[in-house]
Structure 1
Amino acid sequence: MSAPDVVYSMLSVLFVAAAVHALTQALRRNEPDWRGRVGHLLHAAMALAMAAMPWSWGRALPVVPQTVFFAGAALWFCSAALHGHASSWTAAARSLPAAAGMTAMAWMTHSMADSAHGGDTPGHHAGHLGSPTGGPETADMITAVLALYLLICSLWSLTRCMPTLGKAPDTAGRPVAARVYGHFWDGSMAMGTAVMLLMPH
């Protein structure tokens, strides 16, 4: 097994676990907000798609419908945030990591579709798989910006609760451990997506 295959195997395990977590969150009875349920279901779909993406059977899946689906999901996260109960600026800021993840997924699947029609070699990065926006340099820039932003989001999610691990439940009544658990999965998904963007496909 090659080194990329080892990394892909680890990522696939991570994404399958993240999909199970998202489905569990979507189906739990104490989730009062239907937008939250939809968000969890979209994250589960994204995680399953990314778990399959590196493998030959995953690349055989139709990529154009996936591109449309995840582009729509990115727009949904942005629009849902603007109609939430919190401050629109706060809600929009909270939606950006999810929207960026869906955008990255749409970008990867779009690049794969462009590659399938353009005949690029499979060893290129996601940004190299095609030239849908004007050339390899532009594609590289989009890939790098998405990967950097997701990496920042990942580090922020994985470290934001560290100073409060031993404190009492928050004002919403959730134990701190539950919040840390949620941040862990958010950060892990962002990290895995950033790695997927930079890996050869």
Structure 2
Amino acid sequence: MVESLLLRWVLTAVFTAAALWGLHRLIRAEPIATVSGRLVHAGQDQAVPASPVVRISAAWHVVMSAAMIAMCWPWGMAIPVNPQLVVFGVMAGWFLVLAADVRWCAAHRRWQQLHHAAMAAGMFWMLAAMPALMPDAPVESGHTHHHSMGAGALAAAEIPAPANAVVVVSLVLGGYFVLSALPWLSAAVDIGRVARTRPQRAAAYEATCNAAMTTGMGAMFLAVL
């Protein structure tokens, strides 16, 4: 969980907003323009119609947002980890498949699908590697729980080498996700400036939510340091 109560609420608000947009896409699945500011400016964007692939991807984003919210709070520590590892492993594979053939979800470009896969892989890492920082955390029913993420996580007198490796990887991932939010934010601003149609506005909302989710994940990784 996140130690700072203020940060908990901020991240909860961010991930809740992303989850609500994901639910909207899941339920309505309205046509959406290509999530690329350059294509919109060049007039080369296209309204991509709804499809089962779009709904499945939206559902994955809802699941990820819910998992991130759970990680922020103490009650999230009671959720078994192993099923979540399976879920995020499958999720990463799903987006890798979409990245391999972007025709399945034409609204998102290849790098965006790869980014979604990286987000799922980041969740997998966070769940699997955090116990190395707090080896004395309780274990129940054969599975490991989430661990507190905050300034006190590294306050132990001596940190073993595996934990040091986890810190380095978490720092790299945190920095990556914070920086990788910038292209999403740029796309949101570029599309929002010229959005005239409903699909274009949907693309701007999509980019904004992805920028917020990515920033939030980066903040969660850095909170463990």
TM-score using structure 2 length: 0.72
In the superposition, relative to structure 1, how do residues 98 and 182 fare at CA in structure 2: closer, same or farther (>3 Å)?
same
Q: Cα distance, 1:29 vs. partner?
A: 4.6
Structure 1 counterpart of 2:102: 84
- Matches for 1:122-201 after TM superposition, within 5 Å: 122=148, 123-124=152-153, 135-163=162-190, 165-167=192-194, 169=196, 174-175=199-200, 177-200=201-224
> Over aligned residue pairs, what C-alpha RMSD do you find?
3.1
- Matches for 1:87-106 after TM superposition, within 5 Å: 91-106=109-124
| Residue range with higher mean Cα deviation, 141-150 or 97-106 | 141-150
Q: Cα distance, 1:69 vs. partner?
A: 1.1
Of 51, 59, 66, 1:48 maps to: 66
Q: Which amino acid aligns with 1:144?
A: L
Q: Is the 8 A contact 1:70 1:102 kept in 2?
A: yes
Q: How many pairs does the alignment contain? A: 189
Structure 2 counterpart of 1:71: 89
Q: Which amino acid aligns with 1:179?
A: A
Greater Rg by CA: 2
Q: Distance in 2 between matches of 1:23 and 1:162?
A: 23
Q: Distance in 1 between matches of 2:124 and 2:195?
A: 40
Structure 1 residue runs of 5 or longer lacking an equivalent are none
Q: Distance in 2 between matches of 1:164 and 1:49?
A: 29
Structure 2 counterpart of 1:119: 136
Q: Which amino acid aligns with 2:26?
A: A
Structure 2 residue runs of 5 or longer lacking an equivalent are 31-48, 138-146
| Larger relative contact order, structure 1 or 2 (CA cutoff 8 Å, min sep 6) | 2
Deviations 1:19-45 (A, max 9, x none): 111011111153522222111101100
Q: Distance in 2 between matches of 1:174 and 1:101?
A: 25
Q: Which amino acid aligns with 1:167?
A: V
